[in-house]
Amino acid sequence: MCGIVGYIGKRQAYPVLIKGLKRLEYRGYDSAGVALITESSGLQVYKTKGKVADLEKYTDGKDVTGTIGIAHTRWATHGEPNSTNAHPHISASGQLAIIHNGIIENYAVLKDQLMEKGVEFRSDTDTEVLVQLIDYIRTKKNVDLLTSVRMALRMVIGAYALAIIDKDNPDQIIAARQSSPLVVGIGDGEFFLGSDASPIVEYTDKVVYLDDQDIAVINRNSDHVEFVNVNNEKIDHEIKKINLNLSQIEKGGYPHFMLKEIFEQPQCLMDCMRGRVNVDLNNVVLSAVIDYRKELINARRFIIVACGTSWHAGLIGKQLIENFCQIPVEVEYASEFRYSNPVIDNRDVVIAISQSGETADTLAAVELAKKRGAFIFGICNAIGSSIPRATNTGSYIHVGPEIGVASTKAFTGQVTVLTMLSLAIAKARGTIENHEYETLVRELNAIPEKQKQLLDECNEKIHEIAKIFTYARNFLYLGRGYNYPVALEGALKLKEISYIHAEGYPAAEMKHGPIALIDEEMPVVVVATKNALYEKLMSNIQEIKARKGRVIAIVSKDDDKVRELADEYIELPKTLECLEPLLATIPLQLMAYYIAVAKGKDVDQPRNLAKSVTVE
Ligand code: F6R
């Protein structure tokens, strides 16, 4: 879950690397470092605990010249986040520098073996073992860098995206991938490396996404990159064009990416539905459902695998698919599923949901389901990432890069795709009445406009409410039916960015335990829209008030009762019950955001978290 960047070419590498690291900082920000082969002083490595801005301060006044370099922003796995454990790591001879994203699982055995041979280690990291091993092979066997990298990677078990440079060869970078993402950008007489395309996008739109076991040999004076595998067999790669513009990955006047991404949701959902939802023709078209109609409409069962926020979207997907398609759905944590012994076969369809498309647990769940014969459908955001490449088919959510670590627009994008998927399958199976289908298509299409209206109306009010509740040490979030996952999502948002403990519950479960927590200190957020369970939710609110709890209610515009009971309320535009999560989630995202800001927390980069969880 670290970010890696590399550059070789005609310009100064340092500014390219620093800018790239800033773009990738969402992947980890415990420490940062850069290795350059400078014109005057040879291989120079600068690294420090903290963020990329700390690295910039650290390099101030130092020699950062050179047209080749590699850089890293770290999310610690092995070894505490300090400057010694920061990347790049240097081999004991001082010859090689490496950056690495992933985990070398057999690092302890390899380290023991190298130490027995007299190799001295400086850090506690698994990565240092890699560079020491490569250098050991290189000198002992007297082979070139590529050969030693190939030989070392044959001995390594684990995940890696890595880049390595040799102090005596300022004309070459070698990079490799196994289970962690890596992209090579191909410019005019220059080459770039990135964990994703964001560090590359402003220099070139030509990229190659490495596959597992690929090694890229990037030579300064070549017009192409050579790809081989660990056995030195040549690999051909198609050059892809990236479709990402700079404004999508910058803050655009907002103080934080998270706020920008919350406000982008109406546009994102329009992008997500473009060409798929057509009100004039009254239909929803997903190309995957056309291409794989048989597999999808005849599914015996759907199993949704995902983590975190994507798992919450999956809980909404279950209700949508079961209600409209009449097909049973199970929702599994990918991390549990991957180590279970699931009874699945080729009549099952597994839906993998992942914003990053790189989550290690979700990817492993996909591989397991594939082995057992299931048909795999991906719902992802990052184009060309590992999960879409491992699936049989799928639908991208098309919400643009999500940079704030707390997921916001990806959640509503995922729920939108799940809604379209369930409608398309239900129509094809004939399990939905025409008039219901038409109403749903119309209402789904109207959601972006209603989100806009909601954002306009509630933003300031939530800002004020957030100030009142910054004191709280605990929060409870309640919802029912489609809004139960919304409660879970609201609680997750609050805890991850404000570090306030929060629990999401189905409202009726409160009386089975959590009600004991309620007193005058306890804010309870209740999604209490006017739907079939409205009266029941009102009873839950009365139970809270009877115990002096403080209720923040999310209510429908035509609500007349809950607002009377609640301490604070936010009104939602009216929509169909199954589409309410696309609106009700927004005030909860904003509330978490404003509470975290009021508490002075680092909203976009909360402690201990990273955007892309490519480790177990
Ligand atoms: C929460 C959050 C995480 C992710 C989870 C899965 O705001 O961002 O819970 O949802 O790590 O990530 P993806 O969707 O990339 O697989």
| H or E stretch covering 600 | none
585 within ligand 1 shell (Cβ under 6 A): no
Distance 498 CA to ligand 1 centre (A): 17
Q: How many CA atoms lie within 13 A of 349 on its CB side?
A: 28
Residue 571 CA to ligand 1 center (angstroms) comes to: 28
Which ligand 1 atom is at minimum distance from the Cα of 405? 8
- The pLDDT of residue 501 is 96
Instruction: Say if residue 323's pLDDT is above 90.
Output: yes
How many whole angstroms separate alpha carbon 612 and alpha carbon 178?
16
- Using most ligand atoms within 8 A of CB, pick from 305, 407, 612 the residue to mutate for ligand 1: 407
381 C-beta closer than 6 A to ligand 1? no
* Mean predicted confidence (pLDDT) in 261-276: 94
pLDDT score of 253: 79
CB 496 less than 6 A from any atom of ligand 1:
yes
Buried b (16+ CB within 10 A) or exposed e, 94-110: ebbbbbbbbbbeebeeb
519 compared with 262, residue with greater pLDDT: 262
| Cα-to-centroid distance, 142 and ligand 1 (Å) | 45
365 Cβ closer than 6 Å to some ligand 1 atom: no
pLDDT tens digit sequence for 446-494: 999 999 999 999 999 999 999 999 989 999 999 999 999 999 999 999 9
Is the shortest distance between the CB of 359 and ligand 1 below 6 Å?
yes
pLDDT band at 305 (very low <50, low <70, confident <90, very high): very high
What is the average pLDDT score of the chain? 94
**How many CA atoms, within 13 angstroms, populate the side-chain half-sphere of residue 186?**
20
Show the CA angle centred on residue 407, arms to residues 404 and 408, nearest 5°: 100
Ligand 1 pocket, residue 604 CB under 6 Å: no
Q: Which atom of ligand 1 is nearest to the CA of 382?
A: 15
pLDDT at res. 76: 77
Active site residues: 2, 611
The minimum-distance atom of ligand 1 relative to the CA of 612 is 15
355 Cβ closer than 6 Å to some ligand 1 atom: yes
- Give residue 379 CA to ligand 1 midpoint distance, Å: 13
Instruction: Report the alpha-carbon distance of residue 381 to residue 368 in Å, rounded.
Output: 22
Is the C-beta atom of 354 inside 6 A of ligand 1? yes
pLDDT in the model for residue 46 = 97
Span from the CA of 144 to the centroid of ligand 1 (angstroms): 41
Q: Which two tokens stand for residue 110?
A: 């390899």
Location of structure tokens 């809004």? 483
pLDDT band (50, 70, 90) for residue 148: very high
pLDDT higher than threshold 80 for residue 249:
no
Q: Is the peptide bond before 15 cis (omega within 30 degrees of 0)?
A: no
Radius of gyration in angstroms for the set of CA atoms belonging to the chain, rounded to a whole number:
26
Q: Please name the residue whose Cα sits nearest to atom 10 of ligand 1.
A: 309
C-alpha 27 – ligand 1 centre gap (Å): 12
CA distances from 498 to 254, 417, 467, 488, 489 (A): 19, 29, 13, 16, 14
Q: What are phi and psi of 368, to 5 degrees?
A: -65, -45
Residue to mutate, 262, 495, 613, 615, ligand 1, most ligand atoms under 8 Å from C-beta: 613
SS3 (DSSP) at 89? strand
What pLDDT, on a 0 to 100 scale, did the predictor assign at position 9? 97
- 470: amino acid identity, one letter: T
pLDDT surpassing 80 at residue 507: yes
Determine the atom of ligand 1 nearest the C-alpha atom of 411. Answer: 10
Q: Is 309 in the pocket of ligand 1 (CB under 6 A)?
A: yes
The pLDDT tens digits of the residues spanning 458-471 come to: 999 999 999 999 98
The amino acid at residue 28 is G
Give the bridge partners for 160, in sequence order.
102, 179
Give the SS3 label for residue 232: coil
DSSP 566: -
For the CA of 613, the nearest atom of ligand 1: 11
Quick: pLDDT tens for 385-438. Answer: 889 999 999 999 999 889 899 999 999 999 999 999 999 999 999 999 999 999
CB atoms near residue 542 (< 10 Å): 11
| Residue 362 Cα: closest atom of ligand 1 | 16
Say yes or no: CB of residue 335 within 6 Å of ligand 1: no
Give, using CA atoms, the residue closest to atom 16 of ligand 1.
354
SS in 3 state form for 145-178? HHHHHHHHHHHCCEEEEEEEEECCEEEEEEEEEE
The Cα 298–Cα 371 span in angstroms is 20
- Largest interatomic CA distance in the chain: 81
pLDDT-above-90 percentage for the chain: 82
Q: Any idea which residue has 């699936």 for tokens?
A: 391
* Closest ligand 1 atom to 387 CA: 16
Give me ligand 1 centre to Cα 294, in Å.
Answer: 31
